[in-house]
Amino acid sequence: MLDTQGEYFDWSCKVNEIARNWDVLRVDSCASMISFLNESKYHAVVLASSTRIHAEHDCLIKAIALQPRAVRIFLPGMPLSGTQMSRTQDLVHRTFCSQTALEEVITSTENLIKINRLIYKQKTREYVESLGQLPSAPQVYRDLNDALSSEQSNADHISRIVGQDPALAAKVLSVVNSAYFGLGRKISNIAEAVTLLGLRMLRALALSGHLISLYPQQRNWSYFSFDNLNQRAMLVARLANQICRDMKTSQAIQDQAFIAGLLHDLGLLVMASQDAQLYRKVLTVSAQKNTPLCSVEKKMLGLFHGEVAAYLLNHWKLPAAVTEAVLLHHTPQLSPGSDFSPLTAVHIADSLIPEAETEIGANLCNQLSMAYVKRVGVDKQISRWQVVANLYSHKQIKAH
C-alpha cells in the first residue's frame, strides 16, 4: 500500500480485525513501493490518493511494468479533478469511494485476484503462445498513448499523428460521418474529426483496426463473416458507450466501454482464423445442441474466446476494466461487487444488438444475465436500451 499522506496508517490493523489472512506492507513513498516491487511478488498494489497524484500515476505505470499480474486498487484520499480521475481509472482495476465499506474493498480485491488468474491460466498462455510471437502495438497506438499521457497535446498534434496512418485516417472519417453521429453534414477534415471523436476513441480505433488486420478471414471460411462480426462490434461499442452516458459515468468509463465493445469478440476472430477446421466443429456442436458458444469452446478447447482476447489485451497493457469486460462479457456474474462498470455496459449491449448471422445457426452473442443486471441495479433500464439498440441496428441496415 502506497499511503504518502498517512491517512491509512491503521488500515492493515482494520483488515486483520475482519479476520482476513492478508499481509499488508504500507509504504509512504513511491521510491519505497518500487523498491519492494523489485524485490518480491505481490497479489495487489493499493494506492491512496494524495496531492502528488502525477507522481503516483508514474509509480503505477512502473508497478504495471514490474508486476503486471498484481491487482491495482485506488482508495479515496485527496480529491481529484476529472482528468486526474480518468487517468487513474485507466491505470487501476478498481476505484473505491469514501462510502465503500472495508469488507467490500477486501472481497472485491480477492475476487479480482481470482479473475486475474483466469487471464494468466496455463491453458490460455499455451494457446496464445502457440500462435507465434505476440504482436506488438502499432506505432500510431503508442504515439496516441503518449499524447494521452501528455498535458501538452492538442488537436493539431493529434491530427498529425492520425494523418501518418492512412488506414486510421480513413476509419476516423468513416466513423464520424456514419449514421450514429447524425451530423447532417460531411466531415472531411481530420482535425475536426479528431475533435469530435476524442483521443481515447481514436486510440481505440487504432488498436482495433490493427488487431483485426492481424487475424483475417481465411478464403475457405464461410461459417460467419468477419466483416459482419466487426460491423456488429462497432454497434456494440456505440451502444455500450451510450449506456455509460445514460448512467452519467466519467469519460474514462465511457471510453473503456467503447473499446471493450469493439474488441469483445476478438477471440472469435483469433480462434476461427488460426484453426478453421476445429472451430467449425465447435460452431456445429453449439448449433446442434443449442448450447452457448462459450460453453462449447470451454468443453472442446479448454478455454473460450473471452480468455484468448483478454490475454492479448493484457499483453498490450490495456486498462484493466477493458480486459475484464472482454473476459467476462458472457459471464458478468463472476465480476465482484455491484457497481456499474464497462463490463455492465458491454454485457448489456452485446445481448441487445442482433446477433451476427452464421451459416449453421450458431449464436455468437451472449444471453442477458438478469441476475447480474439486477445486482447492479440497472434492470429497469433494459427496455429503454433495447429501443436504442433497435435504432442503431436500423441505421446499420439503411447504411447498407
- CA 393 – CA 395 distance, rounded (Å): 5
- Angle, helices 320-328 vs 342-352, to 10°: value is 40
Instruction: Examine domains 11-119 and 129-399 and report if their fold is the same.
Output: no
pLDDT at 25: 92
CATH number, span 11-119: 3.40.50.2300
Judged by average pLDDT, the poorest of 59-63, 167-171, 324-328 is 167-171
pLDDT of residue 179: 62
Asked if 270 contacts 130 with a C-beta cutoff of 8 angstroms, the reply is no
For residue 6, what are the CA distances in angstroms to 9, 295, 371, 381? 5, 47, 40, 41
Q: What is the DSSP string of 215-226?
A: SPPPTT--SB-H
pTM of the model: 0.85
Q: Are 385 and 352 in contact (CB under 8 A)?
A: yes
Q: Report which of 274, 308, 271, 273 is spatially closest to residue 286, judged by C-alpha positions.
A: 271
- The better pLDDT of the pair 51, 228 is held by 228
- Looking at the predicted structure, is the pLDDT value of residue 280 above 70? yes
For 156, residues 6+ apart whose C-beta sits below 8 A from its C-beta are 191
Q: Would you place residue 265 in the very low, low, confident or very high pLDDT band (cuts 50, 70, 90)? A: very high
Determine phi and psi for 270, rounding to 5 degrees.
Answer: -60, -50
151, pLDDT greater than 70:
no
CA angle 136, 139, 140 (to 5 degrees): 125
319-336, pLDDT tens digit by residue?
889 999 999 999 999 887
Higher pLDDT, 203 or 368: 368
Confidence category of residue 399, pLDDT binned at 50, 70, 90 = very low
H/E stretch holding 75: strand 71-75
Strand-pair partners of 44: 71
> What is the residue extent of each domain of the chain?
11-119, 129-399
Give 215-244 pLDDT, tens digit per residue.
888 888 888 888 888 888 989 998 999 999
More confident residue, 123 or 79: 123
- Round the average pLDDT of the chain to a whole number and report it: 86
CATH class, domain 129-399, is mainly alpha
Q: pLDDT tens for residues 236-248?
A: 998 999 999 999 9
Cβ-proximal residues to 305 (8 Å cutoff; 6+ apart), any chain: 265, 266, 267, 268, 270, 271, 293, 294, 297
pLDDT score for 182:
62
Strand 44-48: give its sheet, edge to edge: 44-48, 71-75, 94-95
pLDDT at 396: 59
